[in-house]
Amino acid sequence: MTKTLAYAAPEAGRHLGKWSFERREPGPHDVQIDIKFCGVCHSDIHQVRDEWSKGIFPMVPGHEIVGIVSKVGSAVTKFKPGDFAGVGCLVDSCRTCPSCKSGLEQFCENGNSGTYNSYEQDKITPTYGGYSKMIVVHEDFTLRVLEKNNLAAVAPLLCAGITTYSPLRHWKVGKGHKLGVVGLGGLGHMAVKLGASFGAEVTMISTSPSKEADARKLGAQYFLNSKDAEQIKGAKRHFDFIIDTVSASHDYDMYLGMVKPDGVMICVGGPPEPISVKGFSLIGGRKSLAGSLIGGIAETQEMLDYCFDHQIVSDIELIPINYINEAYERMLKGDVKYRFVIDLATLS
Ligand code: NAP
Ligand code: ZN
Ligand code: ZN
């Protein structure tokens, strides 16, 4: 076992502070990674505050992990010490159910092992995430990172990147499609970059008019202020697809009104409260309201390689780890450009 320094929330809703715990020694198929950077996802806030379900505490959040391989088990073939590597939202799954067998480990029928606030496949050992100096992960759940010059900006691809890449690919969003992206935060800014890269005409739909210039720089051709009723009315039945990244309760009917007949509104945001939708928002136009959860391991690798080939990284604010509680407060106000990333060199 190796003592590992981390930042943890001691219980639900409490501030995060320094904590240490034991990581396992790498087994034959394990990769040990010295964590260099970890992105800060809004899911970290939801889970630290028990907004989704009762969490496992102390909780070390963080599932946008990049670092350098420091040790490998005797049977590891994909990695060697010194390689750059990444870990996303999953560290294991049953590997035998139909979902796992088709590369959809995020939907594992026997319960996957999330990177934190979860259990290893033994169902008793808690998992701890990337707000820590080091992690040990099975090589099958470790991702290859080719980008060497901008490692910190790669980290958010491991969740914000794959969570938007996967639905855009699943629904084959691209040339000839009008795509609306709701919410310009971590997920939203990746949806804009990826949607534009796939050839879609992207419109940013935001509650923050001050973000318009940035949205355009990220690749949006148009900008809609969702607080302006006239602008919303003008976009009636406009979009083939809307990807909704909003983290708090909001009016789904309003956004569905902007979807074309036969169009799809894809929810990736996870507001804690149940959503309410009028039946006529869907049936008046044969519209679909869909959801999507991160992506499988093979698709996460495909996304990382795509981003490397197309020189896509995240726009980040690099922070020391002792800024994390303030970073959470700023994210809750929609004040981040556009992902906080923790520099783990600041943890000692
Ligand atoms: P974030 O960086 O905090 O961005 C959320 C954005 O939503 C804000 O910047 C804001 O953008 C907008 N927003 C916030 N409150 C709003 C409201 N009441 N009405 C309308 N818009 C509002 O969060 P994130 O890290 O991108 O995560 C977004 C959500 O996705 C979270 O719920 C997270 O848990 C979830 N998530 C899901 C998955 C998945 O697999 N499905 C994966 C990761 C995260 P504007 O200022 O532009 O309005
Ligand atoms: Zn996340
Ligand atoms: Zn499974």
Would you say the CB of residue 41 lies under 6 angstroms from ligand 1?
Answer: yes
Would you say the CB of residue 246 lies under 6 angstroms from ligand 1?
Answer: yes
Residues 259/239, Cβ–Cβ less than 8 Å:
yes
Question: Please, what sign has the CA dihedral across residues 85, 24, 116, 125?
Answer: positive
User: Which residue has the least CA distance to atom 22 on ligand 1?
Assistant: 246
Determine the pLDDT at residue 147: 86
Would you say the CB of residue 221 lies under 6 angstroms from ligand 1?
Answer: no
DSSP characters over 50-69:
TSSSPPPSSB-----EEEEE
Query: Of ligand 1's atoms, which has the minimum distance to the CA of residue 160?
Result: 43
Determine the pLDDT at residue 54: 97
C-alpha to C-alpha distances, 224 to 168, 199, 247, 249, nearest whole angstrom? 20, 20, 18, 19
Please state the pTM of the whole predicted model: 0.98
CA distance 284 to 237: 11
Burial of 229 by CB count in 10 Å (0-12 exposed, 13-18 middle, 19+ buried)?
A: exposed
Would you say the CB of residue 114 lies under 6 angstroms from ligand 1?
Answer: no
Determine the pLDDT at residue 304: 98
Domains identified in the chain and CATH numbers: 2-159+295-299+313-346 (3.90.180.10), 161-291 (3.40.50.720)
User: How confident is the prediction along the chain (348 residues), in pLDDT tens digits per residue?
Assistant: 999 999 999 999 999 999 999 999 999 999 999 999 999 999 999 999 999 999 999 999 999 999 999 999 999 999 999 999 999 999 999 999 999 999 999 999 999 999 999 999 999 999 999 999 999 999 999 999 998 889 999 999 999 999 999 999 999 999 999 999 999 999 999 999 999 999 999 999 999 999 999 999 999 999 999 999 999 999 999 999 999 999 999 999 999 999 999 999 999 999 999 999 999 999 999 999 999 999 999 999 999 999 999 999 999 999 999 999 999 999 999 999 999 999 999 999
User: Which residue has the least CA distance to atom 13 on ligand 1?
Assistant: 246
Supply φ then ψ for residue 231, to 5 degrees.
-65, -40
Determine the pLDDT at residue 120: 98
| Helix ranges (DSSP H) in the chain | 42-48, 98-101, 151-154, 160-170, 186-197, 212-218, 229-234, 252-256, 279-283, 297-309, 324-332
Candidates 187, 244, 267, 338: which one to mutate for ligand 1, based on the most atoms within 8 Å of Cβ?
187
Determine the pLDDT at residue 68: 98
- 74 alpha carbon to ligand 1 midpoint, in Å? 41
CA distance 21 to 11: 16
Candidates 164, 181, 247: which one to mutate for ligand 1, based on the most atoms within 8 Å of Cβ?
247
